[in-house]
Amino acid sequence: MKKLLLSLSIIGIVTLTVWVLLHNKAEVEKQAKVVHNATVPVVITAVQSQTMQENLTKVGLIVANNEVQLVSEASGKIIAVHAGVGSYLQAGAPVVRLDDELASANFLSARTNYDKARKDWERAQELYKQGAISRSEQESARNNFLAAEAAQVSAKRQYENATITTPIAGIVTARPANLGAMVSPGTMVATIIDISNFKIVVNVGAREVFRLKVGDPVSVAADVYPGIEFAGRIESISDRSDEARTFPVEVVIANQPEHPLKSGIYGKVSFQLSTERPVLAIPREAVIGSVKNPQVYVVEDNVANLRDIVIGSEIDTKVEVIRGLKDQERVVLSGQDNLQDHAAVEIMQAK
């Protein structure tokens, strides 16, 4: 009897469980059907035909026109510092000076020997013409003169190397060598950058690079100056592609005093590729999906149908539609997150 009651209880529990599951499933399907049948509010816009000036935009790093790391060519102790970080220097201006006492003495001695050897050589030439000395004596005087000349050049160079100067005009961005420090040949003492002009190198694909030429004007925008455009020009176009089959293009930008640039910031270069041409365009925010598979919702008879498209160039806040849409077709501009293919929509606004 107990076994029978236990079996009946188990059967009752299983039956109740199955009924609850089936009931819940029916409710879920009912709710899903209600949601599916509900209209989704959206904002739409029409595909527009407009003219565009085909541009190519690339992003790159803006760097100084020239950067020089000054290294010492002599050994010694720094006895004077003439410039610090942030100082602007003209080309040839001293940055640091080493102890040059010995170098100065050697140069003075070499110059004295040179002057004596030059006079002896001039005198030997006159005496040889008069037959007062032999040919070998004349050659000996000449060799002494050449040796003294070389010694003077070497001594002068060592003396001049004691004062380290900048070969370019620019700003000191680093000066690791300080007063009293010992340096040797190859020790870096300062970094100078020329910011009169800046350059930016971007990589351009093969299809576009053949439509560019050296000297073409370009416009450059920097994030630090919203709405400001810098005039630039193409300085060089590489004849060899990189591993990605793109060609490095170098653009030069003049620094503007009212909007000074700094080396190491990002810039956006816009190249003008051709004259104006008619295109179909839609706002960028209407496009969903990936870059390789862009899609839009096209509204027809208050139903949103998902459609694949092919996009081209960017036109300010819009994108060119190469294939997939027709002029004046209506696409969803806002509300895509709540949409599914073939969903019913309620048009809240048309832009």
pLDDT in tens, 37-58: 578 999 999 999 887 766 788 9
Q: Does the pTM of the predicted model rise above 0.75?
A: no
pLDDT for the residue 242: 84
Number of domains in the chain: 3
In the numeric block, which tokens belong to residue 12?
A: 């009752």
In the numeric block, which tokens belong to residue 46?
A: 């029409």
Domain with residue 48: its CATH number is 2.40.420.20
Q: Final residue of a domain: which of 111, 141, 161?
A: 161
For the chain, what's the residue count? 351
Range of the domain at 46: 40-52+277-350
290 plus 264 within the same structural domain: no
- Give domain status of residue 69, yes or no: no
Mean pLDDT computed over 219-230: 91
Task: Provide the angle, in degrees to the nearest 10, between the axes of the packed helices 135-160 and 101-130.
Answer: 160
Over the stretch 227-269, which tens digit does the pLDDT of each residue have? 899 999 999 999 998 887 889 999 999 988 899 998 899 999 9
- Give domain status of residue 17, yes or no: no
307 plus 270 within the same structural domain: no
Distance CA(319)–CA(34), nearest Å, equals 36
Q: Which of 17-21, 295-299, 329-333, 335-339 has the lowest mean pLDDT?
A: 17-21
Distance CA(14)–CA(33), nearest Å, equals 29
- Give domain status of residue 120, yes or no: yes
- Give domain status of residue 113, yes or no: yes
- Alpha-carbon Rg for the chain in angstroms: 40
Over the stretch 115-156, which tens digit does the pLDDT of each residue have? 999 999 999 999 989 988 999 999 999 999 999 999 999 999
Question: Which are the contacts of 261, defined by CB distance < 8 A and separation ≥ 6?
Answer: 62, 195, 198, 222, 230, 253, 255
- Give domain status of residue 72, yes or no: no
Please check whether residue 11 is in contact with residue 3, taking contact to mean a CB–CB distance below 8 angstroms. Answer: no
Domain with residue 108: its CATH number is 1.10.287.470
In the numeric block, which tokens belong to residue 105?
A: 């003495």
- Give domain status of residue 114, yes or no: yes
Over the stretch 81-97, which tens digit does the pLDDT of each residue have? 999 999 999 999 999 99
- Give domain status of residue 111, yes or no: yes
Distance CA(81)–CA(2), nearest Å, equals 105
